[in-house]
């Protein structure tokens, strides 16, 4: 499921492939528009045109954007470019969406600071606004920090040795520091490995990401903790599953 590292991987690959090209449509109304940039905000992918308008995508759980991909029964849309190349949007569960907007400004400002750009001071400030909230749901709240989802929130909290149910006000400064530094470290390592192909995710070139082998706790319920003698536990927090080691995460 595409979180920041997966969307960022697609962004970088697509940028190389489509900047400078013109959209041939569909949608026909947008035909002829020249692509000037491919950006990302939170988990949203943004294709900018020279007139200031944009195509924006949210891949949700199972969306795929594949450059020159083949169409399948899960293909929702195919964007064609003036040189004959194309971009295939697949989505098995149809949770994802795309739309054409005159301006992407309104969408972009609905999110909190980017997870890879937030400094420690700002991170502490945004956490402090919700002293009673649990750390995991807060890390996944896009209005608080943008880009982190279920996989990486579990991995970040494991590496920081903090249990997902801890409320903000109980966190020591060094624990907040550990969470913050691991946000950067883990997301960057995941980007380097072109994301996690746990289920349906593939990158814009149709290849799987390699971060799966680095996962320590996500979807590893009942397995031995890679750090101590504990056993990975799965609990529900806010309707989502959280994986952690009850022994070495405090």
Complex with DNA: residue 4 or 66, whichever CB lies closer: 4
**In the sheet that 44-49 helps form, which strands lie side by side, from edge to edge?**
35-41, 44-49, 54-58, 97-101
8 is catalytic: no
What's the Cα-to-Cα distance from 183 to each of 55, 56, 147, 149, 153, rounded to whole Å?
28, 25, 10, 11, 8
Active-site residue, selected from the candidate residues 39, 86, 240, 247? 240
The number of residues that bind DNA (CB under 7 A) is 30
CA distances for 64 relative to 41, 124, 201, angstroms: 17, 34, 7
Query: Does 142 participate in binding DNA (rule CB under 7 A)?
Result: yes
Indicate if 2 belongs to the active site.
Answer: yes
d(CA 39, CA 46): 5
Does the annotation mark 114 as catalytic? Answer: no
172 binding DNA? (CB under 7 A):
no
Q: Which residue of 15, 17, 39, 60 would you call a contact of DNA, by CB under 7 A?
A: 60
**209 is an interface residue for DNA by CB under 7 A:** no
Q: Kindly state whether residue 101 participates in binding DNA, applying the rule CB under 7 A.
A: no
Interacting span for DNA (CB under 7 A) from 13-21, 112-120, 129-137, 202-210: 129-137
**Near DNA by CB under 7 A, which window of 92-100, 113-121, 156-164, 176-184?**
92-100
Q: Counting beta carbons within 10 angstroms of the beta carbon of residue 45, is it exposed (0 to 12), middle (13 to 18) or buried (19 or more)?
A: buried
CA 84 vs CA 78, 81, 130, 144: distances in Å: 12, 6, 50, 41
The tokens for 112 are 């909190």
* Minimal distance, residue 180 CB to DNA, in Å: 19
Residue 43: active-site member: yes
Q: Does 170 bind DNA (CB under 7 A)?
A: no
Q: Spot the catalytic one: 43, 134, 136, 194.
A: 43
**Binding residues for DNA restricted to 27-56, rule: CB under 7 A:** 43
Who's near 95: CB < 8 A, 6+ residues apart?
60, 61, 62, 63
Task: List the catalytic residues.
Answer: 2-3, 43, 240
Give me the residues that bind DNA (CB under 7 A), please.
Answer: 1, 3, 43, 58, 60-61, 74, 92-95, 110, 130-134, 137, 140, 142, 149-151, 167, 219, 237-241
């Amino acid at each position: 499921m595409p979180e920041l590292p997966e969307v960022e991987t697609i962004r970088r690959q697509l940028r190389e492939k489509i900047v400078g090209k013109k959209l041939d449509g569909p949608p026909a109304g947008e035909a002829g528009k020249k692509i000037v940039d491919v950006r990302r905000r939170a988990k949203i992918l943004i294709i900018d045109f020279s007139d200031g308008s944009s195509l924006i995508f949210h891949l949700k759980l199972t969306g795929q954007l594949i450059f020159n991909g083949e169409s399948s029964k899960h293909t929702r849309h195919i964007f064609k470019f003036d040189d004959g190349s194309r971009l295939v949007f697949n989505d098995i569960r149809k949770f994802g969406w795309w739309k054409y907007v005159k301006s992407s400004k309104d969408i972009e400002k609905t999110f909190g600071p980017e997870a890879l750009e937030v400094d420690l001071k700002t991170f502490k400030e945004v956490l402090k606004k919700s002293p009673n909230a649990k750390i995991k749901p807060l890390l996944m709240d896009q209005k608080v920090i943008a880009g982190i989802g279920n996989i990486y929130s579990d991995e970040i909290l494991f590496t920081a040795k903090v249990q997902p149910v801890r409320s903000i006000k109980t966190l020591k400064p060094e624990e907040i520091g550990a969470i913050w530094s691991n946000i950067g470290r883990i997301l960057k390592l995941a980007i380097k490995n072109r994301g996690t192909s746990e289920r349906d995710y593939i990158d814009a070139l149709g290849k799987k990401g390699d971060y799966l082998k680095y996962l320590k706790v996500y979807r590893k319920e009942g397995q031995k903790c890679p750090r101590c003698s504990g056993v990975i536990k799965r609990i529900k927090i806010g309707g989502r599953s959280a994986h952690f080691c009850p022994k070495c995460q405090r």
